[in-house]
Amino acid sequence: MINSIFTTRFRIKIVITIATIFFSFSAISQVTIWAENFNNGCASNCIANTWNGWTIQNNVGGVSGGSPNDWFVSCAEEGIAPPGCGSSCIGDASLHIGADAGAGGDQGASYNETGAANATFKQVVSPTISTVNRQTITLKFDFIAYGSSGCSDDRAQLWLSTNNGATWPLGYTFCLTSVCCGACNGYSQGQWTTYTLALPAAFENNPNVRIAFHWRNNGNGSGTDPSVAIDDIKVTGLFPLAANLVKFDAVKEAAKVKLSWTTNSETQVKHYEVERSTSTAGFAKIATVAAKGNQQSGNINYTANDVQLFSSAVFYRLKTVDNNGGFKYSNIIRVGNNTANSDDITLIAVNGGLGTVKASLWSGQSQDANFSLYDMEGKLIKELGKKPIMKGENQFSFNVPRLPVANYMLKVEVPKSGNKKPVSLSGKFYYSK
């Protein structure tokens, strides 16, 4: 018996973006390194290892039965732009798990689970992806998936490798679970969802990156459709910025704040921009300094002055811009009252859009804070949870439902603990599409 797929079509106005586990606050445009759309023109029953360098590995993490499910590339499970619902073939193929030919064949993201013969432990592996001369690597794809609680069985996972698939470390495996078009009861179609993951430094400048999708079902006779489908994979990255920032300092003097920085190994750097923030409105450029060290060896020193003084704390960051328009931000530094023994928290910048709210904070102490999102009438939109805040600079990214374009308020609250005073602050921001 193959679990049936409902073909009813309807749309739910929700988009879920999977949280990234490695977050960069710098907004820099990415360059596509590698992409896969799986559009092979096949209507059904095209095994995935016949397509574009992908391979299937059996008995990975367990032993498959005599009639296991398989990975297919076809439009039997149509690739739909999120947040659309699953569909039969229209013309946009996807990578998905389906039943083998003896059990009815490829019927999209619907698998066979009548008994032990259907036990499946298979992963499908991409061709080798080179990220040489790229940094800040991001992986993005659309998917549907539904599996057991805690991703323990009948489930799909994303696996990552830095050594051409020789090993797939546990720390680089991620469970894939999306919402359903209707109740997630094991019969409703999946809702296509966007998954975005910023990859750690080990994936930068690496000629041997591979990604894989692992599927397992235990053959216990109890299955829950849909299985899993993947579409429109994209790996992006940045050209490395050819300047090594050795230090960045700011000192408050009688009539100005003196900013200084030191770099070395500069190549193709156009200029530096000093940015200042005094509120949650974010950073603004206050100075531009031309690069001078592209033909020099050793350390190169720079200075700039901010002649506008403030009674409250002021924050600065340095933006390095190369000849191609690429850029990178430094760490944030603070100038103001001494916070060495303070519980003070400052919300430096807040912005939002495309299902995400980002915030940058500065704290005088390590402590926990509760985050929440409100509209401008004071109505709670979402509790964003309790997060640890470290002493110094902190950056956060919160996944939220797609919101109407409007102004919102991010609220940060630190309860009283011991000698620490309670803190409550908020930052207004404009949520854009």
Task: Answer whether 148's CB lies under 8 Å from 155's CB.
Answer: yes
Please say whether the beta carbons of 194 and 82 come within 8 A: yes
Is the Cα torsion angle 48, 52, 57, 61 positive or negative in sign? Answer: negative
Question: What pLDDT does residue 108 have?
Answer: 93
Quote the longest CA-to-CA distance of the chain. Answer: 83
What sign results for the dihedral spanned by CA atoms 163, 164, 170, 176? positive
Runs of H (alpha helix) within 209-354: none
Q: What is the DSSP letter of 2?
A: B
78 vs 279: CA distance, rounded Å: 47
Q: Measured between alpha carbons, how far is 162 from 135 in angstroms, rounded to an integer?
A: 14
The first and second tokens of residue 112, run together, are 């066979």
How far, in Å, CA of 306 to CA of 256, rounded?
Answer: 5
Q: Determine the residue type at 431.
A: Y
**Distance from the first to the final alpha carbon of the chain:** 44
Strands (E), 291-353: 300-306, 314-322, 327-329, 333-335, 345-353
pLDDT at position 118: 94
User: Along the 433 residues of the chain, how does pLDDT read in single tens digits?
Assistant: 333 333 322 222 222 232 222 333 333 446 899 999 999 999 999 999 999 999 999 999 999 999 999 999 999 999 999 999 988 898 999 999 999 877 788 999 999 999 999 999 999 999 999 998 788 899 999 999 987 666 888 999 999 999 999 999 999 999 998 888 888 877 788 899 999 999 988 999 899 999 999 999 999 988 888 999 999 999 998 876 667 888 999 998 888 999 999 998 787 788 999 999 987 777 899 999 999 876 666 889 999 999 988 888 899 999 998 887 778 888 889 887 654 445 578 888 898 887 889 998 888 888 889 999 999 999 999 999 999 888 888 889 898 877 888 999 999 998 876 566 778 888 888 888 6
Domains in the chain: ranges and CATH: 17-238 (2.60.120.200), 244-335 (2.60.40.10), 345-432 (2.60.40.1220)
User: Which whole-number Å values give the CA distances from 206 to 241, 402, 418, in the listed order?
Assistant: 16, 35, 48
What is the reported pLDDT for 295?
Answer: 63
Evaluate the CA torsion angle 203, 208, 209, 214 in order and state its sign.
negative
Measured from the Cβ of residue 245, the count of other Cβ atoms closer than 10 Å reads 18
pLDDT at 258: 95
Residue 189 and residue 8: Cα distance in Å, rounded? 8
Q: CA-to-CA distance for 216 and 4, rounded, in angstroms? A: 19
- Residue 209 · residue 131 · CB < 8 Å: yes
Tell me the CA distances in angstroms from 184 to 47, 49, 220, 373, one per residue in order.
28, 30, 20, 27
**Token pair listed for 52:** 């574009």
Q: How far apart are CA 307 and CA 382, in angstroms?
A: 41
Q: Are 355 and 382 in contact (CB under 8 A)?
A: no
For residue 3, what pLDDT is reported? 37
Q: Which two tokens stand for residue 176?
A: 């894939």
